[in-house]
Amino acid sequence: MMNTTINIQAICYGEILWDVLPGGEQPGGAPLNVAYHLNKLGLPTGLISKVGNDEPGRRLCGLIDQWGIGNSLVQTDQRYHTSEVLVTLSSNREATYDILYPVAWDFITFNEHIENQLKTAGYLVYGSLSSRNQTSRETLATLLDYPITKVLDINLREPYVNKNDLEGLLSKADIVKFNEAELKRISSMFGGGYQREEDMVDFIRDTFSISEVLVTNGSAGASSYSIGGTFYAKGPKITVTDTVGSGDAFLAAFILGHHNKYDGQTNINNAVAMGAFTATLKGGCPDYSLADLEGFKA
């Protein structure tokens, strides 16, 4: 792969793909979306993933290079194709996904170049979906042994939900992001038995020794829970274009604030604003400027 020479501060691991929407295809996958927004917000970010030796893969890597995201860690598979996800939007613009299997990113392998980048980056962002196949799951397990701030984006997609895999991913995480439904399901899966969000979060943090938990609640906003306190931000009133990638944009803004050591309330405010802003745009990697973002927040 081509590589833009940058000092990578964060690394996103897992699926990169084409979202095939009713109105056409869009580049996507949670790791790509988070990397895109982190880079736009000023935190240089790289991707560990895999594409096929095909035209969709070359187009995807061309976009990644064009966006200035570090793609020297993106591998090419000679057997499996670049991933596609069939996206359906409901009447209220909520997205559902049909994720094809197996595809190139199911076969990410560890190498010396990845190891060298892990030694200098500050954050590793990973999701639960990237563990659905043994090859990429074992590679991720190797990455999680490195001394780096680990950010887990729970991404429950049937039929790729495995309790043992989730337990391993959660036990390594420093920061975890859930949406409301995911928090309830994970809490119940591990025997939490609680109804209140705060109690479920306490259970998850205590069970897996997690420093910080983020919970998004769509238009209602989001909360962060850590040893420094609990912080909540209400979602602004917006006209939704689609919700594809809005949670990824939220997470990117939060990681940036964590890196910059923003106080807890400022950070959750900025993250919620970023998620809402992205929901007014089309696709997981929409074109925008920092001036556009600041204008939205004003």
- Residue 182 domain flag: yes
Express each pLDDT in 14-36 by its tens digit. Answer: 999 998 877 788 999 999 999 99
- Residue 243 domain flag: yes
The rounded Cα 139 to chain-centroid distance in angstroms is: 17
In this prediction, residue 52 carries a pLDDT of 98
- Residue 84 domain flag: no
Q: Where are the alpha helices (DSSP H) in the chain?
A: 30-41, 55-66, 112-118, 134-143, 163-172, 180-189, 197-208, 246-259, 264-279, 290-297
In this prediction, residue 93 carries a pLDDT of 66
In this prediction, residue 182 carries a pLDDT of 97
Q: Phi and psi of 202, rounded to 5°? A: -60, -40
Q: Phi and psi of 197, rounded to 5°? A: -55, -45
- Residue 140 domain flag: yes
Q: With contact defined as beta carbons under 8 Å apart, do 93 and 23 qualify?
A: no
Q: With contact defined as beta carbons under 8 Å apart, do 20 and 84 qualify?
A: yes
Measured between alpha carbons, how far is 53 from 39 in angstroms, rounded to an integer? 26
In this prediction, residue 166 carries a pLDDT of 98
The residue segments making up the domain with residue 255 are 29-47+107-291
- Residue 221 domain flag: yes
Measured between alpha carbons, how far is 27 from 20 in angstroms, rounded to an integer? 9
- Cα–Cα distances (Å) from 291 to 40, 262, 287, 298, in that order, read 11, 20, 12, 10
Q: Where are the alpha helices (DSSP H) in 42-176?
A: 55-66, 112-118, 134-143, 163-172
Q: What percentage of the chain carries pLDDT values higher than 90?
A: 86
Residue 83: CB atoms within 10 A of its CB come to 27
Nearest CA-CA partner of 246 in 275, 218, 267: 275
Measured between alpha carbons, how far is 110 from 216 in angstroms, rounded to an integer? 32
Measured between alpha carbons, how far is 281 from 288 in angstroms, rounded to an integer? 9
Q: With contact defined as beta carbons under 8 Å apart, do 34 and 14 qualify?
A: no
- Residue 128 domain flag: yes
Number of domains within the chain: 1
Low-confidence ranges of the chain (pLDDT < 50): 1-5
- Residue 202 domain flag: yes
In this prediction, residue 12 carries a pLDDT of 98
- Residue 189 domain flag: yes
3-class state of residue 42 by DSSP: coil
CATH (domain of 161):
3.40.1190.20
In this prediction, residue 189 carries a pLDDT of 97
